[in-house]
Copies of this chain bind each other. A is one copy, B any other.
Amino acid sequence: MNKDHIELGHGSGGLLTRELLDELIFSTFSNEQIDQKHDGAILPMSGHVVMSTDTFVVSPIFFKGGNIGELAVNGSVNDVAMCGGIPRYLSLAFVIEEGLPVADLRKILESIRHAAEKSGVQVVTGDTKVVERGKGDKIFINTTGIGTLHPKAHIAMQRISKGDKIIVNGSLARHGMAIMSEREGLEFESEIVSDTTHLNTTVEALLDRFGNDIHLFRDATRGGVAGVLSEIATDTAKGVFLKEAWLPLEKQVEAACEMLGIDPLYVANEGVFVSVVNGAIAGEYVEALRSMEGNEDAAIIGEVTETKPGMVILESKIGGKRVVTPLIGEQLPRIC
């Protein structure tokens, strides 16, 4: 690359585009598909295909624990996993604002490569557009993931029934609070670090072992755990009962939430997912989860009831009960 910053010409489809692709993008992701330099990829697959898409517009693009690049990989990898899929291939599409330092793009590409490697997916096709200064914000990244359906997966809202337990795999609100600290320049005694990670390895192991007893997976990104639980309550017309005391929270995250008056249930996560499982295996399920790296803080946080249909009820630490409503308006824009 001769240039230090991305110019409009890098999105022209001409010589500068070619240079950007050849010297930066193709070389980062070189594989059998990418090397074809075609408009798409031809992929050997069989059985049911799981597909999911997500665009990342997080601001700032670099934060404690990660950057927009790995967020974009993990996001679509996790969405495929949440459907019971084993993610295999990823498309990658950039909208870059004119003026982005090429060094930043390099760093992001490197993170993408690394995150893809860690989660075992291949970047197989892509697109790059450049918009004028002030018509975008540094970089937006869309990823679309495809994979094959796990043979034991049977994930569907309709399978949820009374007595099912609600389980999270780790402590809440870390991604959102990391972004907020970064954005507001807040400093806490111990650093709050985003929980962005790939969930597919964990999910695959859970499906191998518990298959049919898993009724739903849902990652608690935008809208947080409250968002996921509200959806479950609305869509199943069942009640969801939670205990505040059961919610896993890191001390510094809890302190930061209190200081800022933010309810951690609504804060976005990037490595936390909710499982709804057959109550009979819930204990064994949590034990299994806790034994897997990165999921040591897994916990049963609540259960599905026939009372209070369509509502999420939280029992506070001092015993009072309140309704958890879905977020109205916007708590923290551009969290992912």
Q: Output the least CB separation between A144 and chain B (Å).
A: 4
- A151–B142 alpha-carbon span in the complex (Å): 30
Chain B residues with Cβ below 8 Å from A142 are: 53, 55, 93, 127, 142, 144
Q: Which of the residues B8, B9, B235, B325 comes within 8 Å of A37, measured between beta carbons?
A: B235
Binary interface profile of A, 140-167, with partner B (CB < 8 Å = 1, else 0)?
A: 1010111001000001110000000000
A41 contacts which chain B residues (CB < 8 A)?
Answer: 50-52, 83
Cβ A42 vs Cβ B95 within 8 A: no
In the assembly, what is the distance between CA of A231 and CA of B38, in Å? 10
Question: Roughly how many angstroms separate A142 CA and B143 CA in the complex, as a whole number?
Answer: 9
| Given A127-B55, A135-B137; A11-B333 close (CB under 8 Å) | yes
Chain B's closest residue to A235 (CB) is B37
Per the bound structure, the CA–CA distance linking A124 and B144 in Å amounts to: 12
Note all chain B residues with C-beta closer than 8 A to A47.
Answer: 46
**How far does the alpha carbon of A53 sit from the alpha carbon of B42 in the complex, in Å?**
13
Known: A137-B136, A144-B144. A268 touches B13 (CB 8 A): yes
Indicate if A82 sits at the interface (CB-CB under 8 A): yes
**A266-B7 Cα distance, complex, nearest whole Å:** 19
Partner of A40, one of B15, B83, B134: B83
Q: Say yes or no for A80: interface residue by CB 8 A criterion.
A: yes
Query: A330's contact among B9, B52, B126, by CB below 8 Å, is which?
Result: B9
Q: Could you tell me if A42 and B38 are in contact, using CB atoms closer than 8 angstroms?
A: no
Contact call B51/A124, Cβ cutoff below 8 A: yes
Which residues on the B side are within 8 Å of A140 (C-beta)? 95, 129, 136, 140
CB of A51 within 8 A of CB of B326, answer no
Interface flag for A194 (CB, 8 Å): no
Question: Which B residues are in CB contact (< 8 Å) with A124?
Answer: 51
Shortest A293–chain B CB gap in Å is 24
Cβ–Cβ < 8 Å partners of A231 in chain B: 18, 37
Interface check A259, CB cutoff 8 A:
no
Q: A40-B80, A45-B45, A79-B40 are in contact. Are A54 and B93 (CB under 8 A)?
A: yes
Which residues of chain B are within 8 angstroms of A268 by Cβ–Cβ distance? 13
Identify 26 residue pairs between A and B in the complex whose beta-carbon atoms are under 8 Å apart, listed by A's number: A11-B222, A12-B329, A13-B227, A15-B326, A15-B328, A17-B222, A17-B223, A36-B156, A38-B157, A39-B79, A40-B52, A40-B80, A40-B145, A41-B51, A42-B84, A43-B48, A43-B49, A51-B89, A51-B125, A52-B125, A53-B93, A55-B142, A91-B144, A93-B142, A95-B140, A132-B333
Not counting A14-B327, A15-B328, A16-B328, a sample of 16 additional A-B residue pairs whose C-beta atoms are within 8 angstroms of each other reads A9-B329, A11-B334, A12-B223, A15-B325, A16-B329, A37-B231, A39-B218, A40-B50, A40-B51, A40-B80, A40-B145, A43-B50, A53-B127, A55-B94, A57-B129, A130-B333
